[in-house]
Amino acid sequence: MVGLGAVIGLATTLFFFHLGAYGLFEPDEGRYAEIAREMLASRNFIVPHLNYVPYIEKPPLLYWLTALAMRLLGVNEFAARFANALAAFAGVALTCAFTRHVFDPRRAILAGAILATSALYAVMAQVLTTDMLLTALTTAAFFALFLDWRDGGGWRWWAYLAMALAVLTKGPVGAALPLTAGAIFLWREGALAGAWRRFSLIPGAILIAIVAGPWFVAITLRLPGYFDFYFIGEHFRRFFQPGYSHKEPLYYFAPVLLGGLLPWTLTLPLIPWRWLRPNPARRYCLIAAAVVLVVFSLARAKLVPYILPAFPPLAVIIADGLASTLESGAARRLAWLGPLLGCASAAAFTVALTATHFRAPYPAVVRPALYVAGAVLAAGGIGAFAAFRLRRGAIGLAAFVATAAVTIIVIGYGRLMAEPLRSYATLARTINRLEPDARLVCYPRYVQSLPFYARRRVIVVGGWTELTFGAEHSADAANYFFTRRADLVRLWNDPRPTVFVIDRAALPVLRRIFGPWREIAADQRKVAIMRSSTAPAAGANPPNAASASIRDRSPATSANE
């Protein structure tokens, strides 16, 4: 019980510590938080809206949970991220419970600690996206299917319920991953024949349809074009069409997985895998992780967090391998973790010392955190090396877990340092404080978090990006979405108080068009300006330039901006 309490405390600290201490990062956090806020404001929980137009790229479960958190905790960053952090905690709890059920308490505690301190899992626990909720639900489905195969007892119904909720989180992939993993495992075990009857597959499909289906039916009836946009575009085109969205090479997730599992990746070559006794739970977890890796690798569209559902089954495998290593009396093999942590420490110090030579600004900004992380890794490496060399395996693993946890907390402070580079929260709050009633105009791209902090709609001039479908299906889009520079000039000349949030790169051209302006707020990437009360009206551009569409010429907004 002491060990389980330690894992609970570890996960709580890593996932909830300073959860609301920094602004929403662009673009995903600002987007999903604003959708949940607009659900509360409009009381429309069927059709998600972003900037008050339909946004249907994802099903609504995460939005519903986030809106509920905002209703209970207020409209703020902590509430926006709460459901995501809670899903990460649930993933750790499910992993502990499953490992205890199929192995023993020692492996259960270790599996929970491994998952909680895996770099990518811990970082994404505090980033609002759909991937962590999908991970928690697919984890429940993965583990329940195995328990039903091994023990019976109706676990499959929990699996089907989890799949239904996963479908409401991110679509059909929420059911496809567990069902594919289960089918491959049954085939591998020679038990595929008759599985549809044993696992009540048809009643299970009906249960999934009953839970997830009503929302899809309701939104299809309410919103013309939804079926083609979501099921054809967001699934078939995204999976098969080259260049549809976030195109990356086939091997993209291999380094992401190895890097995301750090520091536990370092243990993989030290575990004597060939010595381990065959175990169906380990085989099943390996198949589940492989299915996630292969499915998302085959898809054309790839983003780093997509691989998260592979982490819980991998944590079970690594925990079993490390526990078996200690039980076999080979603890001294793990002493190499000390020098490996020393190498990681040297890498952190090297990046800190050469931070100004990187093209990206982040190393220089988080340099203090890199120095502290380097020191933590060095101290942890010494402690782990000494413990393993003295054959005190439990103490060595505890030192390794503590090193990973403290390093992640330090990285969390680095995220606070990097906030000005990834969030427009300060800019938006300043605008809202100084001009609470002014219209807001974004050019040449939409700032995802601006309506969240300003609590009002934004006029978009330029690239509509993910708002395109909603703008095309909104009755009042003509008042809020524009593509011509002439429209920008017209808005500038409008006497109503209006704040323009402009990319710095666009300022030189606009200065020649607008003339004098008054700066309201600014950061490294954006400037918020208003027309000066004494400034003359902006002169119109030559006809061809003024009427030219700027949607295609404006910088593209990526989902990883």
Distance CA(103)–CA(282), nearest Å, equals: 10
Q: What is the pLDDT of residue 557?
A: 37
Q: Do 346 and 419 have their domain in common? A: yes
In a domain, 270, yes or no: no
Q: Do 402 and 500 have their domain in common? A: no
In a domain, 346, yes or no: yes
Distance CA(165)–CA(156), nearest Å, equals: 14
pLDDT tens for each residue of 333-356: 999 999 999 999 999 999 999 999
Tokens of 518: 């008054």
Distance CA(525)–CA(382), nearest Å, equals: 43
For the chain, helix (H) and strand (E) counts, in that order, are 27, 8
Residue span of the structural domain in which 351 resides: 331-423
End-to-end Cα spacing for the chain = 43
In a domain, 187, yes or no: no
Domain end (from 364, 390, 423): 423
Omega prior to 263 cis, within 30 of 0: yes
Coil, strand or helix at 405: helix
Q: Do 379 and 457 have their domain in common? A: no
Burial class (CB in 10 A: 0-12, 13-18, 19+), 92: buried
Burial class (CB in 10 A: 0-12, 13-18, 19+), 18: middle
Task: Of 511, 513, 496, give the one whose Cα is nearest residue 435.
Answer: 496
Please state the domain count of the chain: 2
In a domain, 558, yes or no: no
Q: Do 432 and 416 have their domain in common? A: no
Q: Do 402 and 504 have their domain in common? A: no
How many Cβ atoms sit within 10 Å of the Cβ of residue 196? 13
Residues of the chain with pLDDT under 70: 1, 233-246, 534-535, 539-561
Q: What is the pLDDT of residue 558?
A: 37
DSSP 8-state class, residue 455: -
Distance CA(375)–CA(348), nearest Å, equals: 9
Q: Do 525 and 463 have their domain in common? A: yes
Domain end (from 393, 423, 453): 423
In a domain, 131, yes or no: no
Q: Do 537 and 475 have their domain in common? A: yes
Q: Do 429 and 520 have their domain in common? A: yes
Q: Do 392 and 429 have their domain in common? A: no
Q: Do 343 and 449 have their domain in common? A: no
Domain end (from 390, 423, 456): 423
> What are the distances in angstroms from CA 123 to CA 467, 476, 527?
28, 39, 30
Q: Do 406 and 479 have their domain in common? A: no
Q: Do 380 and 340 have their domain in common? A: yes
Q: Are 341 and 377 in contact (CB under 8 A)?
A: yes
In a domain, 60, yes or no: no
Q: What is the pLDDT of residue 560?
A: 38
In a domain, 77, yes or no: no
Q: What is the pLDDT of residue 130?
A: 97
Burial of 231-255, coded b for 16+ CB within 10 Å and e otherwise, reads eebbeebbeeeeebbbeeeeebbee
The residue type of 29 is E
In a domain, 451, yes or no: yes
